[in-house]
Amino acid sequence: MNPDLEGKILIVDDDAGVLSAANLLLKRRFKQVDTEKNPLRIPYWVNTGKYDVILLDMNFNRDLSSGKEGFEWLDKILDLDPTISVVLFTAYGDVEMAVRAIKLGATDFVLKPWQNDKLVETLQTALSIAQQKKAAKTIVAPMRAAKNTTPVSSHPFIGNSDVIQNILSTIERVAGTDANVLILGENGTGKDLVAKIIHQQSLRKEKTFVSVDLGAISEPLFESELFGHVKGSFTDAREDRTGKLEEADGGTIFLDEVGNISLPMQAKLLTVLQNRNITKVGSNKVKAIDVRLVCATNKAVYNMVNENTFRQDLLYRINTIEIQIPALRERKEDIPLLADYFLHVYAKKYNRTVAALSSTVIKLLQKYAWPGNVRELQHALERAVILSQSAILQPEDFTGLRLNASDAAAPETLQLEEMEVLLIKKALRKYNGNITETARELGLTRASLYRRLEKYAI
């Protein structure tokens, strides 16, 4: 066995000739290939084999044409292990059933008799999707296990890139301490997620996590919001109020957009952090606080120090440990994993049957600049899932991105559209205008192909 090969594949078909031919083709290209004639043994294989991909026949001896057995086994496989990619073996006349199966969770389908290159390419794509699902599940699991008084973040901090793995490693080393942490990064990169993970992995995880957007607090209300006030201390102070720092006592306080506060506000914050006590507005009583401090900003805070707009002593106080989160455009290898995660989150939320992203979409997403970073990607996937009429997301489902793309990206998009037109015309000529064959050649559903024909006036 070649140690460089990846992927464990199970082939299930009641035709011994099919199993033999597929095994012979695939065993040179994947780490492990197993075959099974009896579909009743599928649960055994799934529970013991930890497969990435199952190549599944749609019709067995009990039912030679309806595909009912294929649907039943698809459902059971995904119940047993939703991270497995199921690719269907189907005859030419079963294409409509295969498309229905994709809506129910299958990753793709391959027509019999198959083309070797097409089969291998389809299974390699399915393997990649399965690996993305398994990676997302690995990251999500510890997040679900964490217990604290605040809700778990809207999505986990996902990434297989070296830079993200280094950040996660830093978090693991730092979280168990009480060191102050400063998180730097552009808007939408996930600074709040990192703060929550630090809290969830800390010794304070059973205590409160309090998040404060300092950029949204006006200067007159700064002390009241952070330190609290007593009744009658100012015109609208109709009752005593507990400040955010006191709310976080014993837990973690996350001061977001710390680079946005004025120098007078910085001075007040520094005094509290140095003395570890607060005095409510309108009171002379000093109260000690015990909080873990995590701050974040999208500002170039070191430049601000040089420009005398941010206090150097405050920066030293808050950045015992510094974590720099890269922009999404600097870790494009993580985009397929993130996009797949958001796709499944919103497909479930909105009860949509969208199951995957086309390879063309993945390439386009990786070429896009993402000025809004992960947050923009998340919203783009949400819109696409809501609006898509296909089981597999296609480029036209992301029209908002084309409208918002930078001028520099526009020529690339135009070039890609021109290439798509050429490919469609070439496939149509090859199959004499047969829509079903053309769609199969291009890896599209019939509906997606019809939309492109209308879009490009072909």
What is the model's pLDDT at position 257?
94
Same fold, 146-326 and 331-455: no
What is the percentage of the chain residues whose pLDDT exceeds 90?
40
What is the model's pLDDT at position 115?
87
What is the model's pLDDT at position 303?
94
The band of 61, judged by pLDDT with boundaries at 50, 70 and 90, is low
Cis preceding linkage at 113, omega within 30: yes
Only one residue has tokens 């819109």, namely 383
Residue 34 burial by Cβ neighbours in a 10 Å radius (0-12, 13-18, 19+): middle
What is the model's pLDDT at position 293?
96
Q: Is the pLDDT of residue 415 over 80?
A: no
- CATH second-level architecture of 331-455? Orthogonal Bundle (1.10)
Residues 6+ apart with CB under 8 A from 21: none
**Over the stretch 228-258, which tens digit does the pLDDT of each residue have?**
888 766 667 678 788 899 999 999 999 999 9
Q: Does domain 146-326 have CATH number 3.30.420.40?
A: no
Cis preceding linkage at 43, omega within 30: no
- Listed by start position, the domains of the chain span 8-138, 146-326, 331-455
Q: Is the pLDDT of residue 295 over 90?
A: yes
What is the model's pLDDT at position 153?
42
Strand-pair category, 392-393 with 228-229: unpaired
What is the percentage of the chain residues whose pLDDT exceeds 70?
85
Quote the tokens at residue 115. Answer: 């083309």
What is the model's pLDDT at position 4?
62
What is the model's pLDDT at position 126?
86
What is the model's pLDDT at position 235?
66
Q: Indicate the average pLDDT of the chain.
A: 82
What is the model's pLDDT at position 289?
94
**Over the stretch 333-387, which tens digit does the pLDDT of each residue have?**
999 989 988 998 898 889 888 888 887 888 889 989 999 999 999 999 999 999 8
Q: Is the pLDDT of residue 101 over 80?
A: no
CATH number corresponding to 8-138 = 3.40.50.2300
Closest CA relative to residue 210, chosen from 241, 255, 176: 255
